[in-house]
Structures are given as C-alpha cells and as structure tokens.
Structure 1
Amino acid sequence: MIQAIPIIIAAIVAISGVALQIYNSDRDPGAVRSMKRHAELAEKLTGVAQTKVLGLLETESNQYSDRMMRRATRKVDGGSVAAMIAVAIVGGGLTYGVTLLALNFWIAWILVVLVGGLTIALMFAGSAQLFKYPEEKNKDPSGSSGLV
C-alpha cells in the first residue's frame, strides 16, 4: 500500500490544474443570480429608482451576453494543451520521484510540497491560456496602436 502513495500524489498534482480549469470554464451563476435579484427589485420599484435599476440590469445583461458570446466562439489552443500535458508529465514524474525519496527521508516531504505546489501553480497559470478567442487574432503583439 505504501508504494501507491507516490502514484496517488503524482496523479493528483498532474490532474488538478486541468480539472480546475474545466470546473471553472462554464460557471457564471453569480451574474445570473444578480440579474434575477435586480429584475425582481425593478418590478417592485417605481419612478427614478426603477429607471436606475433597469439601467443597471441592462448593463449587467450586456456584459453577460458579451461573456457568453466570447465563450461560445472560443477555440482550444493546441499549443497550450501540449504545454500543460508536458508540465503535468514532468511535474507529476518529479513529484513521484521526490515522494519515493520522502518515504525514506522525512525531510524530502518539503520537496514534495514544493514540487507539487509549483506544478499545480504552473498548471493553474497555463489553464488561463487554454483557449484562443477570435478577436485576439488581429491584435498587434507589440501593444501599439500603429500610430507614429
């Protein structure tokens, strides 16, 4: 049973970054709940207050619509996926090796935490780059406006 510990820890490290991105990629219940609350509030109000809440509701629905449109048109970036797979394999392998070492030398558990934590952090950072969006194709990489 003790031989399974390194495999389990390495698998957790390797999978955690991708699992977190998948979990977060289609969530937006807070915006929907907020719009529902504001719509209910707008029905109860009158006059200037109702106008202001309706303006807020319009702004929220426009932003939500823009986010959903952007999410619907995104494409998976193959290079980012390949990089995340490489980080998962290397980080998981290093975590496995350090965990084997830690079974004999207790001080090596510090390395397990450091290597595993770094791998998870890299996976989390890479998960933000997992998708390409159509409007990013025409952007100038230098960030300049093109004006002299």
Structure 2
Amino acid sequence: MPVKPVYKLTCKHCHTIVCSRGMKAILLADASVQLFSTDTPSPSVYLLDKDYLTRTCHCRIRDVSCTLCGNIIGYHVVSPCHQCLKSSNNGHFWMFHSQACDSIERLTATGKELLIWNNLPGPEKDIEFLMSGTLPYDQICR
C-alpha cells in the first residue's frame, strides 16, 4: 500500500477547520479530478438536504457546506452505486473539493514526522480529531 499522508483541511473562504482526517484522492469516474476524502466528517460541515445523482454513475450524493460561512466545500456519497462499490476504493464517502479547501499535512505526536494513514488511529482514538470536538458520524446521527 502506498504511503498516504494525513491532512488537516480548512475552508478556503473562512479558514475554519473542516476535517482533521483528510486524504488526497481522485474521483473514480474521472482521474483528472483531485479531491480530499475522509472516513469521518467534522461538526464544522453541514450536510445539505437534497440528494442528486452523479453524471458518470448511479451514486446518490449530497453537497456539504462549511457551517461558518455556508460555502459548498464538498459532498457526501449518501448511497454508492454497485459499480463504485466494486471498484477499488478506500471506503471514504465524505469528499472535499481541492479548490474549496486548503490542506496542511498532519505530524505525528512528536511533531517531527508526517502522520500517515497506516499509523492513524480510528476516530474514537485520534486525539487531534477528538480535541476538535468532533464525533464519528454514526454517533452524531443517533
């Protein structure tokens, strides 16, 4: 597995931290589109209320906006299609547009090395994630 650094993402419009567990990604349907993905969203993002279909597959997605400024910064794959689930994917269904977010590489607890996904604890044990006041999405929806 290639080494994938962990990124902290901020909204380009208002500089709010919108993700502390970001990973560089490419759109499965169009490899020229660069994004960031995450396994768990932050409370500083707001899931808008209308689903729509993508142009290239049958996934249902919903836009995500920054709670502070309201700008759309990405989307959530609400219902992935069979074709995309069969494709090589990392299981991340929260996507951030690279043109809407600035990225900062996260460092390990020592502050001297890049934190990589293989060494990143789950959201329930990720101190930086927990200190940002976030909860795993399944706990937000209870």
Q: TM-score, normalised by structure 2?
A: 0.25
Higher-RCO chain (CA-CA 8 Å, sequence separation at least 6): 1
Query: Which is greater in Rg?
Result: 1
**Higher strand fraction (1 or 2):** 2
